Structure 1
Amino acid sequence: MDSNVVDLIMNDHRELERIFDQLMNQPDKRPSLVPVMIALLTAHSRAEEAEVYPAASDAGGEDDVEHSQKEHLEADQLAAKVAETDFDSPDFPEALQKLIDAVKHHVEEEETSVLPGMREHLDAARLDELGQAFLRSRADHLGDMPEDITKAELEQQAANVGLSGASGMSKGELKSTLEDQAEE
């Protein structure tokens, strides 16, 4: 199995796009697919935030990482909205489309900036090492929903956006501050 972190991330992106297509074109599958999509999205995001973004930032991609982290914060908010909206509600298609549009935008940017930068600045051994760490972290978070985030994970998000003083904030304060950082 390929353990290059860039390839693993791109494989997840393709899987999310496949699920998005099913959600949009087969509304009857939404009750079973929405939780799967949100769980994969959340696990993928937490693994990137914990394992990949710090390495990408160290490799010279600080601005790209900060921007990507803000997009993750936005996606968490949009995913929570999708999760709380009834599938039969007239508001559901719009909530779902907003999440899909935000994630597709993020994927496009990540695949044109963060990931190529990692391929350029990190050697194959480091990319494989990060890939293994990404897989472990993602597996640890499978089944998580955005609201399951820990204070330590919030502190990592804060570090990824360059927010100082996070350790001195309560979990609620930090979560609120980070929600304000989300890309709009």
Structure 2
Amino acid sequence: MDIYERLIKDHEKQKELAKQLMETSGDSDERRHLFEQFKAEAVSHANAEEQTLYAVLIEDPKSQEQARHSVSEHQGADELINELSDMDMSSAGWIQKFEKLKDELEHHIVEEERDVFKLAKNQVSDADATEMSRMFDKRKQQEEEHV
């Protein structure tokens, strides 16, 4: 499996968790559990992705601007996750803010899979893309231990 397939697998998981979260209500055990899963998944994914794929792309002038844009989107998502963590889950504002995060996540995924992957495939060999997938898994596991 190469890095692109690996990231798409995570993207599908994140979208599914977000969809399930949108179907919850109030300060329920289900909402708390799903949000903790979503948070751990999103944060560990973004950090591992930055340390593998984006670390390579940011070094090349041809992909640097797009890579920086994607990393800034990660930072925006991280800020929303932190705000959600501090909010009362039973408030109407919580689900509205989560919906904003979900929309931004979906935008980021489309942009990444369409634009970033295209750039990366022009710069990263197939062998390196496969190795990057292994590095991503290792980094993500390390990140999950700290989330």
Q: What's the TM-score, normalizing by structure 2? A: 0.90
Partner of residue 46, structure 2: 45
Is contact 1:56-1:118 (8 Å) kept?
A: yes
Deviations for 1:27-54, whole angstroms, at most 9, x for unmatched residues? 3521110011001000001001111102
- CA distance in 1 between partners of 2:114 and 2:14 (Å): 18
Q: Distance in 1 between matches of 2:81 and 2:145?
A: 14
Cα distance change of structure 1 residues 55 and 130 upon mapping to structure 2, 3 Å threshold: same
Structure-2 separation of matches of 1:18 and 1:39 = 14
Identity %: 24
**Residue from 3, 10, 13 that aligns with 2:11:** 13
Letter in 1 for 2:41: L
Q: Which amino acid aligns with 2:81?
A: A
Quote the Cα distance in structure 2 between the aligned partners of 1:81 and 1:99: 11
| CA deviations over 1:114-154 (Å, ceiling 9, x no partner) | 11221232211100111111111100011544xxxxxxxxx
1:91 aligns to what SS in structure 2?
helix
Helix, strand or coil at the partner of 1:117: helix
* Contact in 2 for aligned 1:57/1:65 (Cα 8 Å): yes
2:134 to 111, 132, 136: 132
SS in 2 for 1:113: helix
Offset at residue 90 of structure 1 (A):
2.0
1:68 to 40, 49, 70: 70
Aligned-residue offset at 1:95: 1.4
Letter in 2 for 1:7: E
For residues 1-184 of structure 1, what are the structure 2 equivalents within 5 Å?
Answer: 2=1, 4-27=2-25, 28=28, 29-59=30-60, 60-145=62-147
Partner Cα separation in structure 2 for residue 57 and residue 93 of structure 1:
34
- Larger RCO (CA within 8 A; separation ≥ 6): 2
Structure 2 residues without counterparts, runs of 5 or longer: none
Q: What is the rounded CA distance, in whole Å, between the counterparts of 1:137 and 1:58 in structure 2? A: 19
RMSD: 1.4
